Amino acid sequence: MFKIGTFADWFGVGLIEGIKQSQLLGAQGVQVYAWEELSPDKATPSFLNEIITTAKAYHQEIVALCGELGGHGLEVRTDNKAKIDYLKQTVAMANYLECRVVTTHIGVIPEDGSSDEYKYMQEACNIIGEYAASKAVGIAIETGPERIVTLKQFVNGCVGVGINYDPANLVMVTRDDEVAGVYAAGSSILHTHAKDGICYSEIAPKVAYDIFADGGIEALSSITNYFEEKPLGAGEVRWSEYLKALVDVGYDGYLTIEREVKENATKDIGNAIIFLQEQIAKL
């Protein structure tokens, strides 16, 4: 029904060892970041081949690449050429790794579909999406900065672009219904992140994501009084209803665990795998 994936980078032992650790914990695939040693402008063919060889030896599928744009995504038009080029390189690398999804954050999509910002963000996504489609790769925009209906409308106007569904981002920031959102997104869901969290007090999504854009993950610690990521099952995501909704819309891909922890990461991710296995068994 579903497969379980992990982020190889979040084990904190390096990409190659992270792939091995994923298999040892019982996952079937890994998502990897297109940065640092796997930055598309630095990764050598020999390193890419080592990833392929290791993944096959440890029965792991390269589920998705994370093409992290940083900053404000595609919101700043003058920055977009370089970011489009980076995502194109990431897509080419994904194709080489026999990976079919590249996830990314593009910033906050405006509610007003007639605004200039909306149009040039969509224009950039179309350029990237058309290139990705030519390489048999899909671009998956992560949920969170805007309501699902806004994101769905946006991707409907793009070629080769879909949704990376992260229920915790919805629960924590937009307060969007993570179950109803699955039905709204439907066949646009290309990949999912298995993450949980809790909202303590509402904050404007634009404010929250601007803090992240300007200061990175570390800056989010300054607003933990508003929301906080939690271990799977310890937050507000309604897992049984959420997974059933994914089944109902025909999604049978990966539930890729995203746990941004630095201490006891292997144990934490292992617990998340067990949690998902138990939830899947109940369906």
- The more confidently predicted of residues 218 and 249 is 249
The pLDDT, as a whole number, for residue 11 is: 95
Phi then psi for residue 102, to 5 deg, are -120, 120
Residues 5-33 pLDDT 10s: 999 999 999 999 999 999 999 999 999 99
Are the C-beta atoms of 131 and 88 separated by less than 8 Å?
Answer: yes
Task: List the structure tokens of 131.
Answer: 């290139």
Task: List the structure tokens of 195.
Answer: 């993450």
Q: Supply the CATH classification number for the domain 3-281.
A: 3.20.20.150
Residues 182-232 pLDDT 10s: 999 999 999 999 999 999 999 998 898 888 888 877 777 788 899 999 999
Residues 60-94 pLDDT 10s: 999 999 999 988 999 999 999 999 999 999 999 99
Nearest C-alpha neighbor of 29 from the set 63, 67, 69: 63
The pLDDT, as a whole number, for residue 73 is: 95
The pLDDT, as a whole number, for residue 108 is: 95
